[in-house]
Amino acid sequence: MSGKIKVLVVDDMAMVREILAKGLDMDPRLTVVGTAANPYIARDKIVELHPDVMTLDIEMPRMDGVEFLRKLMPQYPIPVVVVSALTERGKRVTLDALAAGAVDFITKPSSDIARGLNGMLKELRGKVVAAAAANVSHWKRALPAVSTAAVPIPVPLKRQGALAESTDKVIAIGASTGGTEAIREIVSKLPAITPGVVITQHMPPGFTRMFAERLDSESPMEVKEAEDNDRVVSGRVLVAPGGLQMSVYRSGGNYHVNVKPGALVNGHCPSVEVLNRSVAEHVGANAVGVMLTGMGGDGADGLKAMRDAGAFTLAQDEASCVVFGMPKVAWEKGGVVRMLPLKDIAGAIMDYLRIRR
């Protein structure tokens, strides 16, 4: 992309549009080419101005941001960063927006507005720059233009009775930008007999619990936000909580997770690097590592350590990534055994572990 990144700001409040536009224009890499008070104006401005990225308030009258995304993405795919509230409803709608094609999201400050606003705008500038490199072309192929509602996904019944007492295998998955849908694509295909799965997805506190609950409703496995000392067992998926670091350790013949406050690692908490390093050390050759779409290189060294310890490692290929950052760095560092399209990763895991499809 040559020149400045062109941004369209969509929000129903004039004051917010002005604040976001001024905040984005502070970055020399960005230029706000227009603003819109609602999706109808935004639609016309997209056609007229051809922005590279759109910021989108998802709670608007007449047509909310999620409905707009469902109509827009099959016809005119564009990287979108949604602006979300920290309310419970705001979190639910944010996950709906990610499922409808948004690349990333940012939360409005809920307290100490003056200080929080500066931090939010700084984060927004970074996310808009990252979004400009995102690949959203698959949305034009993925959804019919007439679709305006999510299609229910049939989910096989979860295994009845208690989970397995132990597992000798652990599947570790790391992701960032675009990862929520990539993770859903994989986890929804894994049967209830799959060995324990541990996931680090870059996401702030509060959102990970709701993300885990949504995955649980779409997966044959049990999915939950991890708690300290939770067992890693067959049939269970543990999602690292936002704002905490998660690692795996072994106690006797069982695997557990440590979930503790910790410093940022590679700029993240939770960090994929923390998870992968622990899996390399404590699980070794009994592990499967998966690196999915995301900006930067978090977890790449840890995935290399996993491979060096004998683990089978996979990464999502460039064509199916929203952002081909983390898989690319992991590949370049020698941490990846196989690079695959997203649609083939669940099958590759099952084939390697000899799980009947």
Which one is catalytic: 52, 57, 202, 278?
Answer: 202
CA count, 13 A, side-chain hemisphere, 162: 4
Closest among 104, 107, 99 to 66, alpha carbons compared: 99
Query: Order of strands, edge to edge, in the sheet holding 104-107?
Result: 30-36, 5-10, 53-57, 80-84, 104-107
> What is the distance between the alpha carbons of residues 355 and 334, in angstroms, rounded to a whole number?
27
Q: What is the CATH number of domain 170-352?
A: 3.40.50.180
Q: ω before 341 within 30° of 0 (cis)?
A: no
C-alpha closest to that of 83 among 16, 143, 176: 16
Q: Which two tokens stand for residue 289?
A: 């590592």
Catalytic residue at 282? no
Q: Which CATH superfamily is domain 5-142 in?
A: Response regulator (3.40.50.2300)
- In single-letter form, the type of residue at position 251 comes to S
The C-alpha atoms of residue 95 and residue 309 are separated, in whole angstroms, by 35
Helices and strands of the chain, counted as H and E runs: 12, 15
Q: What is the location of CATH 3.40.50.2300 in the chain? A: 5-142
Q: Say which of 57, 230, 298, 301 is annotated catalytic.
A: 298
The residue ranges of DSSP E strands in the chain, in sequence order, are: 5-10, 30-36, 53-57, 80-84, 104-107, 170-175, 196-201, 222-225, 231-232, 236-239, 245-251, 254-260, 287-291, 312-316, 338-340
Closest to 192 (Cα-Cα) out of 146, 158, 154, 169:
158
Q: Name the catalytic one among 84, 176, 234, 320.
A: 176
Q: Report how far residue 247's alpha carbon sits from residue 229's, in angstroms, rounded to the nearest whole number.
A: 10
Told to judge if 137 belongs to the known catalytic residues of this protein, a careful annotator would answer no
Question: Catalytic annotation on 219?
Answer: no
> C-alpha distances in angstroms, 196 versus 208, 288, 342?
18, 10, 20
Tokens of 308: 């060096």
**Do 342 and 185 contact (CB within 8 A), yes or no?**
yes
For 224-263, how does the pLDDT look when each residue is reduced to its tens digit (9 = 90+)?
A: 999 999 999 999 999 999 999 999 999 988 999 999 999 9
pLDDT tens-digit profile, the chain (357 residues) = 558 999 999 999 999 999 999 999 999 999 999 999 999 999 999 999 999 999 999 888 778 889 999 999 999 999 999 998 777 888 899 999 999 999 999 988 766 566 678 889 999 999 999 999 999 998 875 544 433 344 444 555 565 443 555 568 999 999 999 999 999 999 999 999 999 999 999 999 989 999 999 999 999 999 999 999 999 999 999 999 999 999 999 998 899 999 999 999 999 999 999 999 999 999 999 999 999 999 999 999 999 999 999 999 999 999 999 999 999 999 999 999 999 999 999 999 999 999 887
115: phi > 0 → left, psi -120 to 50 → alpha, else beta; which? alpha
Residues of the chain with CATH 3.40.50.180: 170-352
How far is the first Cα of the chain from the last one, in angstroms, to the nearest whole number? 42
